[in-house]
């Protein structure tokens, strides 16, 4: 196989929510493929810690924090990236929150605002600020981290699912808008992945057993397996893929429970 298909040599990538879980796995995968990284989360100390760890692994990583709930912070992050690197080749909007668990009717206005601002609006803000630099460099790729909660109903994660469904639609819209400039935009919808976010399920044996019985592969996924898809989407190997929502769930959404 042509190794250049999965190379990011000479490329610069920004990953939000990059200090743990799926975001950290994506950062490591991109770094190992040769990319320079911007490691971002709300906590600058966490960003510095992860950037230092990756640097010891031979990966060029820069810490830059931002509160994705504040548009001014998001714009400042985009400006800092452009000022420091002169442009961007790959953007991964991975950060997300689920402040409300339960029926939609029980969610308060603050839950709605927090969920949609961090999960959706921040991705649009970053894309709006950074995609033009990709176009100016001849192309680039954006990956938006959605969820299978956005492709089917959910009694507990309904509000989160609405924001993730909108994120997948954002990928389609931006793909149409920016495709002529060779900027590709895709979404990834993970199922249950072994992360801190999923611990309420993975740490509950009875709930997990029920969920795995509905998953053809009969296991939870790993952050590295999602990172593999994220790497494909920003390398030449994924060069003809845009506007898609790639589901990485072990078959949960296609299983019939048998």
Report the sign of the C-alpha dihedral through residues 168, 151, 241, 14, in that order. Answer: positive
Task: Kindly list the distances between the CA atom of residue 222 and the CA atoms of 79, 130, 151, 187, 232, in Å, as whole numbers in the listed order.
Answer: 33, 29, 20, 18, 16
Distance CA 129, CA 172 (A): 18
Catalytic residue among 62, 125, 160, 197: 160
Can 30 be counted among the known catalytic residues? no
DSSP 20: S
Smallest CA-to-CA distance from 143 within 180, 98, 96, 181 is with 96
Cβ atoms of 168 and 146 within 8 Å: the answer is yes
Cβ proximity of 9 and 17 under 8 Å: no
Contact 214, 243 (CB under 8 A): no
Residues labelled catalytic: 160
């Amino acid at each position: 196989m042509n190794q250049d298909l999965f190379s990011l040599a000479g490329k610069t990538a920004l990953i939000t929510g990059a200090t743990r879980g799926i975001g950290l796995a994506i950062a490591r995968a991109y770094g190992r493929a040769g990319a320079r990284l911007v490691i971002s989360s709300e906590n600058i100390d966490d960003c510095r810690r992860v950037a230092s760890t990756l640097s010891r692994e031979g990966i060029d990583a820069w810490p830059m924090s931002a509160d994705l709930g504040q548009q001014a912070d998001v714009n400042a992050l985009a400006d800092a990236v452009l000022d420091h690197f002169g442009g961007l080749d790959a953007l991964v909007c991975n950060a997300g929150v689920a402040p409300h668990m339960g029926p939609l009717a029980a969610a308060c206005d603050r839950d709605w605002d927090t969920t949609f601002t961090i999960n959706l609006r921040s991705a649009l803000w970053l894309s709006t600020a950074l995609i033009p630099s990709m176009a100016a460099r001849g192309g680039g790729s954006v990956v938006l981290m959605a969820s299978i909660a956005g492709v089917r109903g959910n009694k507990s994660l309904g509000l989160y699912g609405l924001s993730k469904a909108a994120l997948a639609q954002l990928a389609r819209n931006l793909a149409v808008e920016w495709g002529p400039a060779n900027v590709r935009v895709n979404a990834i919808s993970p199922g249950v992945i072994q992360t801190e976010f999923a611990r309420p399920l993975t740490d509950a044996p009875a709930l997990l057993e029920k969920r795995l019985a509905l998953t053809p592969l009969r296991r939870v996924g790993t952050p590295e397996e999602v990172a593999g898809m994220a790497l494909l989407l920003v390398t030449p190997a994924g060069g003809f893929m845009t506007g898609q929502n790639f589901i990485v769930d072990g078959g949960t959404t296609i299983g019939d429970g048998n």
